[in-house]
Amino acid sequence: MGVAGSGKSVQGKLLAQDLGYTWLSTGELLRQSVDKKRQKEMLEGKLLNDQEIIDMMGQFFQKQKDNKACILDGFPRTLPQATWLLEEHDKGVIRLDAVIYLQASKEVVKERLLSRGRLDDTKEAIDKRFKEYEQATLPIVDWLKKKNIPVIEIDGEAEIEEINAAILKNIKEL
């Protein structure tokens, strides 16, 4: 977990590679799965509603019949999404071992996002995503802790290799 630009995708891919897991970017999944109207809304920084995301994730998990471990990148983003994920965990549909929370300042993520050159990375969209993150996603971190899900807090502003090493170290200690 982390705000857009905190390094979730970079670290998710590295972690999946290091551990032999499947990596799922919900952002990429959404960009490939939604219609033109939704794509336009996403370019403007609007998130899809919880049920749309939950349905998409449910379909993803149903396809994972081999029970291969995976890294979720960008999910959950809201309390209803986190509640659904924890319910799936409690029912034994999935196993939620830990949450990796990459912490990064608004200034750092804004600089990163503007430099990557994606069409949906405008200053206005970034500001909107950061505000939505603070209101909807950030509270999930404490909620998950209260539900006894291990939350590994990592400095997302460090160098890529340092972040990866810190994540791996913390995972091995679980």
Residue 45 is predicted with a pLDDT of: 62
Residue 63 is predicted with a pLDDT of: 82
For the chain, first and last CA: distance in Å?
A: 18
∠ CA 96-21-132, nearest 5°, is 55
Q: For the chain, 174 residues long, give each residue's pLDDT as a single digit of tens.
A: 999 899 999 999 999 999 999 999 988 888 777 788 877 877 676 767 899 899 999 988 888 766 678 999 999 999 999 999 999 999 998 999 999 999 999 999 999 999 998 887 889 989 988 998 999 999 999 999 999 999 999 999 999 999 999 999 999 999
Task: Show the tokens assigned to 143.
Answer: 């909620």
Is residue 89 assigned to a domain? yes
Is residue 3 assigned to a domain? no
List beta partners, residue 100.
152
For residue 73, which of 15, 122, 117 has the smallest C-alpha distance?
15
Residue 170 is predicted with a pLDDT of: 97
Is residue 126 assigned to a domain? yes
Q: Are 64 and 70 in contact (CB under 8 A)?
A: yes
Q: How many domains does the chain have?
A: 1
Residue 65 is predicted with a pLDDT of: 67
Question: Range of 39's domain?
Answer: 8-172
Residue 165 is predicted with a pLDDT of: 98
Is residue 1 assigned to a domain? no
Q: Are 48 and 34 in contact (CB under 8 A)?
A: yes
Is residue 12 assigned to a domain? yes
Is residue 167 assigned to a domain? yes
Pairing of strands 99-103, 70-73: unpaired
- Cα 36–chain centre separation: 23
Is residue 2 assigned to a domain? no
Is residue 54 assigned to a domain? yes
Domain containing residue 19: CATH number: 3.40.50.300
